[in-house]
Structure 1
Amino acid sequence: MTIVSALADISIFQLLLVALMALFASIIGGLAGYGTGALMPLVLVPLVGAEPVVPIIAISAIFTNSSRALAYIRYADRRRALIVLACAGLTTALGAYGYTRLTNAGAALVIGAMLILSVPLRRVLRRRSVRIGDP
């Protein structure tokens, strides 16, 4: 399958919508520091289905986080970064394996549940004064 054949079913209007949403999500992500991966599925799932959205967002996150890492490398605490990388490597491998076991409907259910649960969970954590990071 080539890129051209993969894009054959997507209209120019849909591609423009994805590009505009990506621009909006990148602005929000740049201002808030997060949110790009939460906003893009809202536009991508109806266009390409739930199953390919996670790899698309993962590739986008690689670009985003690589550029942030390069921009702030001099401020990084290398010891903490190695600890996070070790933990993230294991959990990423487990998550990727779990994702391969999902069907399109299962992927849609997981994405939808996480989007729905993210708002109340954030409010509960804020109410309990839970902070991640240095005080």
Structure 2
Amino acid sequence: MMESILWQLPVVDLLVIAISAFAAGICSGMTGFGGGLLLPPILAPLLGVQHVVPVLSVAMLLTNLHRFSLYRHNVNRRLTGIVLITMIPAVILGTSIYLSLPHDAIAIVLGGFLLLSIPLGRILAARKFQLGPVGLAGFSAVFGVISGTTSGSGVLMVPVLLGAGLAGTAFLATDAAISIAVNLTRALVFNQSGDLQWGIVVAALLIGLCTLPGNYLARWILRRTSLRVHARIMEVVVLAGGITLLWGPVKAAFAG
């Protein structure tokens, strides 16, 4: 049971989760993504890879609700509406696909996405991705399917929002609104399927609470730190996390 896994974790492991969640909150508060990329490698060996996306759906929902409350007056409602029209049904489809995957396949999907997120994010940013309403709706549908099957897909939405002319608090508020819709939709699908057990909700809420101080610290850091340096550090951590998640299935395949 998820409850026994959670409560039997050593204190050191709980501290690692809390510190990692706090760091993820800082990253998310600075760039609009980060929590879903940094936490899977930490949570997978401790809670089980099959619980990673359900836990992060609730935890990141709490994180983004808090971030949205900080910048809510700056949200771009028109852009958010265009994104959500096609994204929400696609998230439902993607989450349904995730629920049908075996544990090793989940690890491969999560690890593979972490590794691919680095070059994909760079390519989209370098091309200054700009989309009209129809193109944005189409991209959002693809983004929704990816968001339903992985964690940390918000990195793909970043260059799209920047290409739409959003920056600063307007970017953070709009990204938070989109992320809230993604995580709420996933959480509802997981709850409907019975995969959002009480133990998962408790773990997720505790992790989410640990991220909240990071949102405040992120505002302070943003005024004093280069985002370029932060982005490079994130890439190194994400690369290591992707390799970690893929190691188990690859090792098992060769052993077989």
How far apart are the structure 2 equivalents of 1:15 and 1:117?
29
Per the alignment, in what secondary structure is the counterpart of residue 9 of structure 2? coil
How far apart are the structure 2 equivalents of 1:71 and 1:86?
25
| 1:43 corresponds to | 42
TM-aligned CA deviation for residue 48 of structure 1: 1.6
**Aligned structure 1 segments of 4 or more residues deviating by more than 6 angstroms:** none
Which segments of 5 or more consecutive residues in structure 2 lack a partner in the other structure?
130-158, 166-256
TM-aligned CA deviation for residue 71 of structure 1: 2.5
TM-aligned CA deviation for residue 69 of structure 1: 2.5
* Residues 1:98 and 2:97 aligned together: yes
1:69 to 1:53, Cα distance in 2 relative to 1, 3 A? same
How far apart are the structure 1 equivalents of 2:88 and 2:28?
23
| 2:56 corresponds to | 57
| 2:83 corresponds to | 84
Task: Please identify, of 95-104 and 29-38, the stretch whose mean Cα deviation from structure 2 is larger.
Answer: 29-38
Please give the residue correspondences for 1:90-129 in structure 2 after superposition, counting only pairs within 5 Å.
90-129=89-128
| 2:160 corresponds to | 132
CA contact (8 A) 2:37 2:114 kept: yes
Counterpart amino acid of residue 132 in structure 1: V
Per the alignment, in what secondary structure is the counterpart of residue 67 of structure 2? helix
| 2:235 corresponds to | none
Counterpart amino acid of residue 112 in structure 2: A
How far apart are the structure 1 equivalents of 2:25 and 2:105?
27
Q: Deviations over 1:72-111 (max 9, x none)?
A: 3322233332222222211110111111101111110100
CA contact (8 A) 2:49 2:103 kept: yes
* Residues 1:26 and 2:25 aligned together: yes
TM-aligned CA deviation for residue 2 of structure 1: 7.2
Which segments of 5 or more consecutive residues in structure 1 lack a partner in the other structure?
none
Counterpart amino acid of residue 89 in structure 2: L
TM-score by length of 1: 0.86
Structure having the larger proportion of residues in helix: 2
